[in-house]
Amino acid sequence: MFERLIAYLDSVKARDPAPRTRWEILTYPGVWALFYHRIAHWLFEADLFFLARLVNHWSRMVTAIDIHPGATIGRNFFIDHGFTVIGETAEIGDDVTIYQNVTLGGTNPTNGKGGKRHPSIGDGVIIGSGAQVIGPITVGRRARIGANAVVLDDVPEGATMIGMKARSTLVPAEEWIKEFIPYGTPCEDAEGNRIDCIEKLEGELRALRDEVAALRAERSADPRRTGTGD
């Protein structure tokens, strides 16, 4: 158990450069929210729903993170900062990172019945701050959801989603080489696209300058255009 705790704390440190020691990570609200959720989920699975809700209520008060006891969460789950809501039927894989003010919300069933209402999040997914992932959708492995994105449809594996309603950045999954991106926002990829555009524009500008220089040389060589002819 102690080794599992150390491995978990190290996984958090690998994604967050702020803490200097493992002891600091133990003060994180996301770590405590996950700890309380493990207890609440065990009670929920044992059909001790009221006790599970009591643990959930206490956790929400002290961490500002609301994880329903019924949610299923894998290994090395990390909520950075907090103020996050995770619904009852949400399923979260391994090595998932969620930043502040994220909602894994559910649809409102018109028939009053429960059922699968919340998202399923694949392994290695990163969800940026303020993102809203709503409904019984699937977010594929290693997908990135940018800050404040609103995701209502399935997300392919390795895709990066931005905007409201979220759309893919169309970066092919096979070209993805980074294992972790803070806040799920591919700043370096966007920077690379801007550099490509700038280089293309600079090339076109050089071609235009060469064309203008050639026209000036042609005009200078023609006496009829310079006004020096007889």
Residues 48, 97, single domain; the answer is: yes
Residues 7, 99, single domain; the answer is: yes
**Residue 58: half-sphere exposure toward Cβ, Cα within 13 Å:** 12
Tokens of 39: 């207890």
Residues 116, 208, single domain; the answer is: no
Residues 60, 132, single domain; the answer is: yes
Residues 140, 167, single domain; the answer is: yes
Helix (H, G, I), strand (E, B) or coil at 160: strand
Residues 137, 36, single domain; the answer is: yes
E strand or H helix at 55: helix 49-63
Digit-by-digit pLDDT tens for the chain (230 residues) are 888 999 999 999 999 989 999 999 999 999 999 999 999 999 999 999 999 999 999 999 999 999 999 999 999 999 998 899 999 999 999 999 999 999 999 887 666 667 899 999 999 999 999 999 999 999 999 999 999 999 999 999 989 898 887 777 655 554 554 566 666 666 555 445 555 667 777 888 888 888 888 888 888 876 665 555 55
The pLDDT assigned to 228 comes to: 52
Residues 144, 219, single domain; the answer is: no
Tokens of 66: 């609301």
Sheet containing strand 167-168, edge to edge, reads 78-79, 97-98, 126-127, 144-145, 160-162, 167-168
Residues 69 and 226: their CA atoms lie apart, in Å, by 87
Residues 95, 119, single domain; the answer is: yes
What amino acid occupies position 5? L
The pLDDT assigned to 174 comes to: 46
Instruction: Write down the pTM of the prediction.
Output: 0.72
**Residue 201: left if φ>0, alpha if ψ -120 to 50, beta else—which one?**
alpha
CB 141 within 8 A of CB 120: no
Helix (H, G, I), strand (E, B) or coil at 84: coil
Residues 162, 208, single domain; the answer is: no
Residues 179, 195, single domain; the answer is: no
Residues 151, 210, single domain; the answer is: no
Domain with 127 in it: 2-185
Residues 181, 203, single domain; the answer is: no
The pLDDT assigned to 26 comes to: 94
The pLDDT assigned to 80 comes to: 93
